[in-house]
Chains A and B, each alone.
Chain A
């Protein structure tokens, strides 16, 4: 016996999973990839307001001014698809990731007396993951898929003739074939199967044979069963909400021990660990840890997670924990004689993680110059070892003296008469002997971060050469030249 789970309007549902309050509103999904975005899928409310698949957003809004438009999100579709497979796995180890929003399961028994209960359980489980699904049971995979498409919630059929009224689109013809069938006036599976198979093949090619077999329930295929994921997962939904760190750590250690044991038996190590913590609000806290030196050492992995969790302030009680480890082969490293290399990358990254926990993610790493005119613009990039230092080709840098910057720049008081005459700041003060400038620079005028400044290089009476600048009415000491 086979079963098919179908999540209709899968892309839309995947997007709305995290915004269930929108499900009862007029919502349409578009693909942002296209220049004139067309409606891909829409809620029944939008459809009732006259929104039709294929319309442009403007046309749809002309029909329904309350229409909410959402963009397609492959990122949202991936977990939704995984959730379907997880659900399928819970009911049968023989399950297939058949297509987008479609999953087929097989039981070796010819009959399934509990089909109704199974279907309802499946639907309920997917509903809890915010996916509305339909389930169909049939003696073969193809028929089960059609059955699921014809079902309101679930159905079990034995013969393809029961599906005569099903839309011909359910057979998943190619766009070209579907267009031809429409021109022929063929709208249902019944009308399609009323045509002779050989006539169809003669006109539509080999695809027609496939479609015909599918429509008559003769199409079946050995399931390409999905192997357990290439990841090592452990998950639990707590019976009681957790508000303390200890029980969480206890469970984490057990998860890691299980995962480590499985990794060891396959001679693999964990290269990446993803921690997902579910809160009562339905929200998750997800954090992925790259393991600098992949390992299966429980202590190392545990310390990494522990360091992070110590600084995590959860506002809500925790209801679930999900840990995923991505394996890799153990790295073999030959240390070079003169090249500096980290003896214990894990230790180093653990230190970095502690720093990040203290100062924030955007404040730890290696500074990388931003390609902009904004002076001293940089961002923090992840630390990588072994890469060559990039040489700058900025002519200004090439000829300039070394500037020791104050970060942030220091406030300064400047007497200005056509040029700076005197400078008073914490580190330097005095009459300005010579001044070069102003150098005007401004940018990001299209943004809230717009900036505009006039820089001067000044030499103080004591010979100190420094860079000052004025932004608005305020002066700053930016740095001192060596």
Chain B
């Protein structure tokens, strides 16, 4: 009979800086080794449990959940979950220990373990375990037995072919015998295969802040801590067959399934004691009357009835009411709020005020949001103004459900190019300089590489014959993608009926006042925990600020009632004058807008959705634009698809359309369409996508769809898996895009003022926004000690006054105190200012340097001269006399030149109200075209352009092509750089703030690009720089 062995003590890379393999890799290797089951025991958490569970299930092995607990005193105790009770106890123990410890530390109390021991099985661990880590192993084992009971303690023995372990194991066997406890063979797995040992060595170095060369005995002695087959383990323990069979027997006892979390979404307490379903119907109807008026159309009524019936049937009424309640809180607190995502497909959400899209009016597919076949909860994402207002809503959720009842969703930060290179270089002892050179190639983040890894090394100046290069390459590749630490999801929160801390381990986030769970968004979704996304959106803050500003200035505006067919707004879009406008401001959007020529709200929704990797990758953008411009006939894959694709001219652009296509062409049921949707939005599993597309093909073939059309439809589906918008989401975003464009046209000053106040946000830097504001006829006045407030303000219809918030490193509270002091009596002089205000000397200096004190002095250098003067003590007998003299004194310093003023502005604020830096060097560049002049450039002609690099983008869909946006005093020029040219000028492109580029003008359908042929840095002292929007 073949041996049966179950590995019951394996650690994944989610035992951060210990294990070297992903949970999925462990599961796959288990299958290869024909292990029937495996237990994952990550250190101090269940971080990898959902991924391991899903992967194990997918591969047909039985996943067992466990954990290594670091106990007080330092011993590490592995425990396995026997049943749901044990799981909940483990979560509670992990949560309470994590929540009372600083982030990154964990030390469980033994008496707390005793309180939470029910349903758990204890192993005695490896060399870090209680029996080997402490002096009195007998007493430790006795303590374990008294906590767990003799039926639930197993003495663990491992054999790693090490000298000395025989004696250790002999002692353990004696102990087991003395306490009458079973032996259990494990291999203390840290990596799936032999090669993983390199990564565990690297992690050991990082844990101990050392390098491989000096780590010595901190490193593992061999690679035996890998996953082994039953045959290998049986051979190792041939003299202790019971220790092997015990693994199978113990595994059989552990029947906990991660589906049995015991999670319940909180119920909503209705005010009058009616049922949640009844209450939901009532508030929906009230909302419907507010939205549609007193008389509801039959279509609306039918839709609402359909949705409410389904919600009742699926038992989701509480969920809708809780979200509705949160929206009400926002309304009452004056916080602008809008639902996005698939919730906008729901008329109920619209009536409850959760979303702003009339799904009935827009003919949106409700089934995309909720269907009978759907497993798990519907997804409602809520956009809130970023920063403080959003934080208020998050804290409200904590207040309502308690610290143990609500948490943020985690975000697993993995090793990527820069972080992997940096840490691998560190442990290999490479110099900081060498690592910095390599990291510099990644500039502001990862982006697709068109170079082989070794070529990247070479271009960083790292020689291939460097003795450490082979190890660098292999470690870099091995560590790439492994989890590094746990971060926080931008807005996902989960709440629970009862204690969430018994469902998933919670821990403190780095941010004060926040707790996070140990799982990420996909994990929560897989395990059907309900997530509400409270997302901070800079544009929501801008809109709210703008509306408030308009109201203050007696020119109120209600975004809900602005005309949706304003031609001036669409004109702005058509000429791609969209800097600062939500979603349609990027370089790629601006390149498409003149071709798209949006003239109605639906066009805006399409515009929002079309520049996405999904449609781009699926080659759907160009056919759509060609059809829209009448250059290509409108055709359909199949006549049956006409009703579905008519609105998008026969080209599928939205996820809903693909689901409908699947339903029509492949007879997919609602559940199958839901499966397709999940596959589309599930980024992790290519296999899952392959399975569903195979099914799609099969069904379409059976339905006699032509092979050509099958290919087209499948290709469209596959590309949407990369990233495609649901139509409802596009509508929600289009509302914000249209709203912001309308404000830019009709409340230009208020809009730009708010944009500047909400920085950092959006695609462009404040300097670029300011230049655009000027191009729209606005005057922007500099920060002034007499006139400026903390935020930027409007002085009249055409004039923005920069606020003190624009000044870097100027502290808010002392500045507000200064403004309050000014309100009492204006400042008579710089001396008076210094006497009454508690700013630091460097802050006074900064204000003087950027001209903010000019009102109290002749010019900037006068102010600088005066602020440096020491204050005399109050009781100085000569102070009064001196003060008079001081008032009369002028500085001997010369006023700043325009170039110096520009430098000073950029140094203090990153922008200037004066001329654009390029204007200062224009005379020196007679051969360089201004951006505004390029409109007359002839297609194919050679031109030279130059400017500040405000954007470098290398989208994954562009086959290595780089897009650079250069800004000068007249506008923005877009440049295309081929992959080859990029690679040969990589450092220059990613490091130089100003570039001079020679290239060929390409004019296509009114859109101009320069195809770069030669790049040079543009060097001049007058060129002050601002951060660029890079590689996002």
Contact = CB atoms under 8 A, between A and B. Distances in A.
B179 to A, nearest CB: 24
Interface in B857-875: 861, 864-865, 868-870
Contacts of B631: none
15 contacts: A37-B432, A50-B1019, A56-B440, A62-B991, A63-B988, A184-B864, A203-B865, A204-B868, A373-B221, A437-B161, A439-B161, A440-B222, A440-B223, A442-B221, A446-B468
Contacts of B223: 440, 442
A371 B1019 CA distance: 53
A372 B213 CA distance: 9
B295 interface: no
Contacts of B988: 62-63
Interface string A150-184: 00000000000000000000000000000010011
A204 B900 CA distance: 22
Nearest to A442: B222
A247 to B, nearest CB: 43
A202 B433 CA distance: 43
Interface string A390-421: 00000110011000000000000000000000
A184 to B, nearest CB: 5
Interface in A352-388: 370-373
Nearest to A370: B216
Given A440-B222, A448-B467, A183 B987 contact: no
Contacts of B167: 399
A371 B433 contact: no
A445 B471 contact: yes
Nearest to A199: B892
Contact of A61 (B432, B894, B896, B987): B987
Given A399-B167, A447-B467, A61 B217 contact: no
A439 B162 contact: yes
Interface in B159-178: 160-164, 166-167
A113 interface: no
> In the complex, which of the residues B219, B433, B437, B471 has the most CB atoms of chain A within 10 Å of its own CB atom?
B433
A62 B900 contact: no
Interface in B434-464: 436-437, 440, 461
A447 B201 CA distance: 13
Interface stretch (A28-36, A91-99, A297-305): A28-36
Interface string A292-326: 00000000000000000000000000000000000
Contacts of B437: 57-58, 61
Given A58-B436, A446-B212, A184 B1017 contact: no
A400 B166 CA distance: 12
A167 B198 CA distance: 55
A195 B892 contact: yes
Contacts of B436: 35-37, 56-58
Given A62-B992, A443-B219, A185 B432 contact: no
A439 B163 contact: yes
B440 A58 contact: yes
A30 B467 contact: no
A245 interface: no
A257 interface: no
Contacts of B216: 370-373
Contacts of A61: 437, 461, 987
Interface of B: 160-164, 166-167, 197-198, 201, 212, 216-217, 219, 221-224, 428, 431-433, 436-437, 440, 461, 467-468, 471, 475, 845, 849, 861, 864-865, 868-870, 892-894, 896, 900, 904, 987-988, 990-992, 1017, 1019
Nearest to B218: A371
Contact of A71 (B428, B433, B467): B433
A439 B224 CA distance: 10
Contacts of A59: 991-992
Interface string A63-78: 1010001010000000
Given A371-B217, A372-B217, A185 B900 contact: yes
A57 B893 CA distance: 36
Overall SS of chain A's interface: mixed
A196 interface: yes
A439 B222 CA distance: 9
B918 to A, nearest CB: 18
Contacts of A37: 432-433, 436
Contacts of B224: 440
Interface in A16-69: 30, 32, 34-37, 50, 56-59, 61-63, 65, 69
Contact of A194 (B461, B892, B992): B892
Contact of A438 (B161, B219, B849, B991): B161
A50 B428 contact: no
A441 interface: yes
Contacts of A454: 161
A291 to B, nearest CB: 33
Nearest to B904: A183
Contacts of A370: 216
Interface in A185-237: 185-186, 194-196, 199, 202-204
A447 B471 contact: yes
A63 B990 CA distance: 11
A370 B162 CA distance: 19
Given A184-B861, A371-B216, A203 B868 contact: yes
A30 B433 CA distance: 9
A30 to B, nearest CB: 6
Contacts of A69: 433
A372 B216 CA distance: 4
B645 to A, nearest CB: 48
A373 B428 contact: no
> In the complex, which of the residues B160, B161, B900 has the most CB atoms of chain A within 10 Å of its own CB atom?
B161
Nearest to A452: B222
Contacts of B164: 395-396, 399
A371 B210 CA distance: 14
Contacts of B987: 58, 61-62, 65
Contacts of B1019: 50, 63
A194 B892 CA distance: 9
Nearest to B220: A373
Contacts of A34: 432
Contacts of B428: 446
B428 to A, nearest CB: 6
Contacts of B217: 371-373
Contacts of B861: 183-185
4 interchain residue pairs of minimum CB distance = A371-B216, A58-B440, A446-B471, A203-B868
A50 B1017 contact: yes
Contact of B161 (A396, A399, A440): A440
Contacts of A32: 431-433
A240 to B, nearest CB: 43
Contacts of B992: 59, 62-63
Contacts of B904: 183
A202 B869 contact: yes
A126 to B, nearest CB: 30
B869 A185 contact: no
Contacts of B161: 437-440, 454
B405 to A, nearest CB: 42
Nearest to A371: B216
Contacts of A71: 431, 433
A61 B217 CA distance: 40
B433 A57 contact: yes
Given A36-B436, A440-B161, 11 more contacts: A37-B433, A56-B436, A59-B991, A62-B987, A65-B987, A183-B861, A184-B864, A196-B892, A370-B216, A446-B468, A446-B471
A373 B865 contact: no
Nearest to B467: A448
Contacts of B162: 439-440
B470 to A, nearest CB: 8
A184 B893 CA distance: 7
B433 A185 contact: no
A36 B991 CA distance: 14
A373 B991 contact: no
